[in-house]
Amino acid sequence: MASKGGFVPQGTDGTDFLHRQRVAEHYQKSALNKSRLKFCIFFHYLLFFVMIAKLSADILDKLDIFILEIEELRVPKPLWFEYIWCVSVVLSFIGLSAVRSNNVLNMQKYMIGVVVFGLFPVFYCILHYMNDVIDYIQLEDDTDVEDTEIKVWQNLPYGLLWYGFAFAAIQVHGFSLVFAWNLTSAWKSRGSKKTQ
């Protein structure tokens, strides 16, 4: 062992250890995308709580529970895609399990589930409310929204509120898919065949 200011073997400058200090690229890529995917799943949970707050009036109504404050909000009845989108939060547990165990098959299941239960309902939402949003955008400044056929809630155009949710959900699901894809490619490039 060489000490500071002591003997240095001839032919080395002391930096020959650097090749041993590098972490393989697929491990770096995996660690980075794991943390990013967890961050996206956190935002998915936040969107889920927003959706549950919106669905709470209908859920309580089906359970025959009456809470005056919630009924006074007059939240519009939910459409089928809202409940289907809520299923996508269950998939986050599959994704988190895949992250913990570097499981390619579970990550692929997560990606398929996000597309089917996350993105498809959101795209349906965008198409469903497109006419209301276009009518609202083309509305003249002096026209009152309540005098039109545009659906409103709390004096706000309902379709535009859904578009805000949809664009946030598209970003969360889109980035989740990108990071999940990066993880599966990193795990596959490692040569590991963890498929079960």
41-61 pLDDT per residue, tens: 999 999 999 999 888 887 777
The pTM for the full model equals 0.76
Q: CB under 8 Å to 127, separation ≥6 — which residues?
A: none
Instruction: Identify the residue with better confidence: 139 or 125.
Output: 125
Task: Quote the pLDDT of residue 196.
Answer: 46
Task: Quote the pLDDT of residue 151.
Answer: 72
Classify residue 38: in a domain, yes or no. Answer: no
Q: How many CB atoms lie within 10 A of CB 186?
A: 23
Q: What's the domain range around 109?
A: 47-189
Classify residue 70: in a domain, yes or no. Answer: yes
Among 95, 117, 101, residue whose Cα is nearest residue 39: 95
Classify residue 22: in a domain, yes or no. Answer: no
Average pLDDT, the chain: 81
Task: Quote the pLDDT of residue 131.
Answer: 86
Classify residue 27: in a domain, yes or no. Answer: no
3-class DSSP state of 157: strand
**Could you tell me if 40 and 172 are in contact, meaning their C-beta atoms sit under 8 angstroms apart?**
yes
Task: Quote the pLDDT of residue 66.
Answer: 73
Classify residue 89: in a domain, yes or no. Answer: yes
Task: Quote the pLDDT of residue 33.
Answer: 86
Number of domains observed in the structure of the chain: 1
Task: Quote the pLDDT of residue 193.
Answer: 44
Classify residue 86: in a domain, yes or no. Answer: yes
Instruction: Identify the residue with better confidence: 42 or 71.
Output: 42
**What is the percent of the chain where pLDDT is above 70?**
72
Classify residue 40: in a domain, yes or no. Answer: no
Classify residue 175: in a domain, yes or no. Answer: yes
Task: Quote the pLDDT of residue 132.
Answer: 82
3-class DSSP state of 150: coil
